[in-house]
């Protein structure tokens, strides 16, 4: 097989037609209102409420600032413990730590790779104030079990839904579960505003607090009522977001065809497991992960390296896991004995290139390289 001429990355940003963007930018320039809760910013919030099937949305300049703000908005006691997963992007535990809270890592489920709800209660102490699960790759956490645990122990629940834009369970938006859900609109995500994100929540009383925290704690010209941060989304980001609301569903349809093609190519390959979305749950189409078992000495890393030689750039996502990071590796909950599944899967999961413009020939080439190891 010849090396692919152009690099094929794990994803490509969803971008609107440039000609459609021009009048949006022109309007912003004419109005000279480029940030600070402008018309497009406010319209995007309203449209996202409908798209995500949630009661309230507050948009942000990026998902990390949104997640930071969500923890601050819930008034969690300083120094308290937040139970979360190590199988996630660095921002998840970092946002906990930046809020002077302490991450406690819980192991994950083998099939969905989300937090194992059956192992949460054993980690709860009198100092636990919240649970921060992650809908990894768009696979939903066991929201029913987590809700039951949270109510029993009077804990807050903040979901990291960075991968789960538009995911639904039995027709219910994923952002309606828990106290707050964060969605990321980074360029690598299915739905993007280049950078950006939002918080979705049911309690309307959180609206003003999140608004103030997002804007330096400034309530009006003469009152600063909280220790806030600058989390405002600008009007150009919002314009791209408004245009992409008309495009992401078609992108999802394309990705579903690509997913089916991958499944068809890899379904009978020994030692390859393709995780499946639970019943009655929609697939966000964010990533296409496979699990590569190491029964014959041909492991994930060798396949990853070989794909790279042919100019196909998959992602060892997530490797290393957060409990391996220098700031967290000495935590009691980071012990391998506490996280056997996460430490197993970190060496087996590979996210393959996955975006709407990926052609069938490329999919076959990628799969042929993988199958050459079986």
**To which H or E segment does residue 208 belong?**
helix 206-214
- What is the domain count for the chain? 2
Q: Which single residue is written with the structure tokens 């060798």?
A: 302
Do the domain assignments include residue 47? yes
Q: What is the CATH number of the domain that holds 323?
A: 3.90.1150.10
The last residue of one of the domains, among 198, 214, 244, is 244
**Do 169 and 153 fall within a single domain?**
yes
pLDDT value at residue 4: 82
How many other C-beta atoms lie within 10 A of the C-beta of residue 213? 23
**Do 230 and 267 fall within a single domain?**
no
**Do 176 and 210 fall within a single domain?**
yes
**Do 298 and 216 fall within a single domain?**
no
The last residue of one of the domains, among 210, 244, 278, is 244
**Do 147 and 95 fall within a single domain?**
yes
pLDDT in tens, 116-128: 999 999 999 999 9
Query: What φ, ψ does residue 316 adopt, rounded to 5°?
Result: -80, 80
Do the domain assignments include residue 7? no
pLDDT value at residue 93: 98
DSSP state of 334: G
SS3 163: coil
Q: What is the CATH number of the domain that holds 239?
A: 3.40.640.10
pLDDT value at residue 298: 72
The answer to whether 198 touches 66, Cβ cutoff 8 Å, is yes
pLDDT value at residue 297: 64
With the C-alpha atoms ordered 144, 150, 152, 154, is the resulting torsion angle positive or negative?
Answer: negative
pLDDT in tens, 153-162: 999 999 999 9
**Do 183 and 255 fall within a single domain?**
no
Would you say the pTM of this structure is higher than 0.95?
yes
SS3 312: strand
**Do 223 and 264 fall within a single domain?**
no
Do the domain assignments include residue 28? yes
Total number of residues shown for the chain:
374
**Do 263 and 190 fall within a single domain?**
no
pLDDT value at residue 360: 97
Q: What is the mean pLDDT of each run of 10 residues along the chain (374 residues)?
A: 89 97 96 95 98 98 98 98 98 98 98 97 98 98 98 98 98 98 98 98 96 95 95 98 98 98 94 92 97 80 96 97 98 98 97 97 96 82
Do the domain assignments include residue 265? yes
By residue range, what is the domain housing residue 330? Answer: 248-371
Do the domain assignments include residue 6? no
CA distance 260 to 265: 9
Do the domain assignments include residue 123? yes
């Amino acid at each position: 097989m010849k090396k692919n001429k152009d690099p094929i990355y794990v994803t490509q940003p969803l971008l609107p037609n440039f000609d459609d963007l021009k009048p949006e930018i022109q309007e912003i320039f004419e109005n000279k209102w480029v940030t600070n809760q402008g018309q497009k910013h406010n319209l995007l919030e309203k449209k996202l409420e409908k798209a995500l099937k949630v009661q309230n949305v507050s948009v942000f300049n990026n998902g990390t600032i949104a997640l930071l703000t969500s923890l601050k908005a819930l008034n969690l006691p300083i120094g308290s413990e937040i139970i979360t997963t190590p199988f996630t992007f660095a921002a998840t535990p970092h946002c906990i730590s930046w809020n002077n809270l302490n991450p406690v890592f819980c192991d994950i489920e083998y099939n969905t790779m989300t937090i194992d709800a059956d192992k949460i209660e054993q980690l709860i102490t009198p100092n636990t104030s919240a649970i921060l699960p992650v809908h990894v790759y768009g696979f939903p956490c066991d929201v029913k079990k987590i809700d039951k645990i949270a109510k029993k122990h009077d804990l807050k629940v903040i979901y990291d839904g960075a991968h789960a834009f538009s995911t639904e369970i039995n027709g219910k938006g994923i952002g309606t579960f828990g106290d707050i859900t964060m969605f990321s609109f980074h360029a690598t995500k299915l739905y993007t505003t280049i950078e950006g994100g939002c918080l979705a929540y049911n309690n309307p009383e959180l609206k003003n607090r999140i608004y103030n925290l997002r804007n330096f704690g400034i309530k009006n010209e003469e009152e600063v009522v909280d220790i806030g941060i600058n989390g405002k989304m600008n009007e150009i980001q919002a314009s791209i977001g408004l245009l992409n609301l008309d495009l992401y569903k078609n992108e999802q349809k394309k990705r579903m065809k690509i997913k089916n093609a991958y499944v068809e190519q890899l379904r009978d390959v020994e030692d390859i497991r393709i995780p499946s979305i639970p019943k009655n749950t929609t697939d966000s189409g964010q990533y296409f992960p496979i699990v590569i078992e190491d029964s014959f000495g041909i492991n994930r890393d060798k396949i990853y390296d070989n794909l790279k030689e042919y100019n196909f750039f998959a992602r060892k996502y997530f490797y290393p896991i957060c409990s391996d990071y220098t700031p967290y590796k000495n935590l009691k909950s980071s012990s391998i004995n506490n996280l056997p599944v996460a430490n197993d899967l970190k060496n087996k999961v590979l996210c393959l290139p996955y975006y709407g413009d990926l052609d069938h020939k490329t999919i076959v080439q990628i799969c042929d390289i993988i199958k050459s190891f079986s």
